[in-house]
Amino acid sequence: MILFCGLLGVRKKVPTWRLGNAAFWLRAHIWLGVLSVPMILFHAGFAVGGALTQALMILLAIVVASGIHGLVLQQFLPRLMTNQVETETTYEQIPHVLEQLRAEAIEVVESVCGPLQAPPEESVAPPDPSDPSAPAKPAAKSKGKTAGPVEGSGPLKDFYLRTIQDFMAADRLGNQILATPARARAHFAHLRKILPPALQDPAGRLEEICNERLGMETQIKLHHWLHGWLFLHAPLSGVLILLTVVHALMSFKF
């Protein structure tokens, strides 16, 4: 039975692919994990024993509880994310994509308002020079309009400088005006009302960019919910395995 516990640990160490697919492993992991609770309880005879075995019991409880917690979260959070975040991207690349969104926003504004006074240098230059295609694309499309400020573009520029710039640059959205979907919608609706027809399209694009930024925030939050429990589960599993081995060794010794 001690070996059983160890097996659970060793199994997780094996690289997941090609030794049966990962879904099989996950299923086995869940069932064996749940099964290990009664097994270990019987092994212990429903007594907690000394300090080490007490620690083992508590660890097992936390690990199993966090695992079940994660399992439950995984049942509905993906759907939530699918529904709430339309413009999902790869989580690890959010900062990178965000840079490009910033650049794109500046591009949109500059295409109709003329160059901004002093755009922060780092947000204009795409961070990765080897991948200039994305920011370059909108530029190519709007090349014809770069000549100078389009008439009536003042409000757009103001709105960008006062609101969007901070919104795009902020690490945490906090209580930014655009961080609330309803308020953002109202602001953009207002902006559209006061802009000439020629500028409706850039405004729409800006709104999309801001929506995408907002989606990223939701995505980050959900992603943390979806994977945060692992911070408890994985390290404590490591401890559990270590202590189980010690426990096994000591019980063989004595």
Decide: is 143 part of the binding site for another protein (CB under 8 A).
no
CA distance 241 to 236: 8
The least CB distance from residue 38 to another protein, in Å, is 19
Cα dihedral 179, 182, 187, 188, rounded to 10, equals 100
Nearer to another protein, 61 or 250 (CB): 250
The least CB distance from residue 182 to another protein, in Å, is 8
CB-based contact 73:226 (threshold 8 Å) = yes
Among positions 16, 57, 139, 163, the unique one binding another protein when judged by CB under 8 A: 16
Contact mark string toward another protein, 92..131, x via CB under 8 A: xx--xx--x---x-----------------------x-xx
Nearer to another protein, 146 or 251 (CB): 251
Among positions 181, 190, 196, 221, the unique one binding another protein when judged by CB under 8 A: 181
Nearer to another protein, 13 or 117 (CB): 13
Among positions 37, 169, 189, 198, the unique one binding another protein when judged by CB under 8 A: 189
Report how far apart the first and last C-alpha atoms of the chain are (Å, whole number).
Answer: 17
Among positions 38, 47, 174, 193, the unique one binding another protein when judged by CB under 8 A: 47
Number of residues engaging another protein in binding (CB under 8 A):
81
